[in-house]
Amino acid sequence: MNFLKVFDPGIALFYLIATIQVLAGFLFKKEKLQSLGNYLTIAGFGLHTIDLAVQYFFSFHETLARGQFYFSFLAWAFLLVYFLLWLILKLKFLSLTAAPLALILFSSSLAISPKALPIPPRLSGLWFSLHIATLFISMGFLAMAFGAGITYLYLEKKIKTKSKLSSFSRELPSLATFDRVNHLAVAWGFPLFTLGILSGFIWAAFTWKRIFTWDPKEILAIIIWFLYAYLFHQRFALGWKGRKPAKLAIIIFALTVLSMVGVNFFIPGHHSFKP
C-alpha cells in the first residue's frame, strides 16, 4: 500500500504553495500571485484526483479498509463542489479561500490513522461506491451552504446594527450572493444526498439482508434527510430566502459532521472506523 501514497507529499506541497501565493497576492494586491496560486490549487486537485483513482483501482479492497481514504475523498469532494461554484458564480472570494481550504482538508485526511479497519469484502460493489460518492459530494454542497450561511448571518448582523466593517468584510460579496450559494447547494446537494441514502439501503439489503438495521449512523442519516428535505421544500416550494435557510443549512451540516466524526470514530456499529 505504501507505493500508492507517493502522491501525498506532492499534493500537500501544491496546496501549501498555492495558499502562500494566494494570500500573499491578496495582502500585497498582486493579481499575478493570486492567479498563480489558483493554478497551483487546480494542479494539486488534479494530482489529488489521480491519487484517489490509483488507490481505488489498484488496491480496491485494501483502500476501502482504511479510514484515511474516506477523509481524503471527502476533502476531494469538498474541493470539487468548491470549484463548481467558483466557475458558476465567478467569485473572487471563492478563489481566495480555495487553496487554504484544500490545504486544511487534505492535511486533515493525512492525520487519520492508516491502520486497516475490519471491513468485510462485501463492502465493495457498485451500490457501495455510488453510496459513498453521492453522499460525500452532497456533503461538499452542504459545506458550501454552511459557509455561506455563517457569512450571511455575520454580514446581516453587521448591516442591521450598522457596525463598522473591516477592510476584509467590505471585500465580501453581497447577501444576495451568499443566499444564491445556499440555493445552488440545496438544489444540487439534496438529490445527491437522497441518491446516497437510497443506494446505501440497497447495498445494505445485499450485505445484511435488511434494508434498515437501526445502526446509529442510519438513524442519524434519516434525521438529516428529513431536515434536508424540509429545507429543499421550503426553498423551492415556498420561496424561502435569507436567514431561515442559512440557519437550517448550518444545523444540517453540523449534524453531518457529527455523523461523520462522532459515529464513525466513537460509536460501535456497521459504519464505525474503530478497529
The more confident residue out of 24 and 264 is: 24
Predicted pLDDT at 268: 59
pTM for this predicted structure: 0.78
Percent of the chain whose pLDDT exceeds 70:
80
Binning pLDDT at 50, 70 and 90, where does residue 231 land?
Answer: very high
* Long-range contacts (CB closer than 8 Å, 24 or more residues apart) made by 49-53: 49/76, 50/7, 51/4, 51/7, 51/8, 51/11, 52/76
- pLDDT tens-place string over residues 59-70: 655 655 566 777
Position 89 pLDDT exceeds 50 = yes
- pLDDT tens-place string over residues 120-166: 555 555 556 777 788 889 988 998 889 889 989 988 888 888 777 77
Structural domain boundaries of the chain?
1-116, 118-275
- pLDDT tens-place string over residues 94-121: 777 778 888 888 888 787 655 555 555 5
Q: By C-alpha distance, which of 137, 120, 128, 119 is closest to 204?
A: 128
**Side chain identity at residue 18, one-letter code:** A
Contact yes or no for 75/105 (Cβ under 8 A): yes
Cell of 116: 486497516
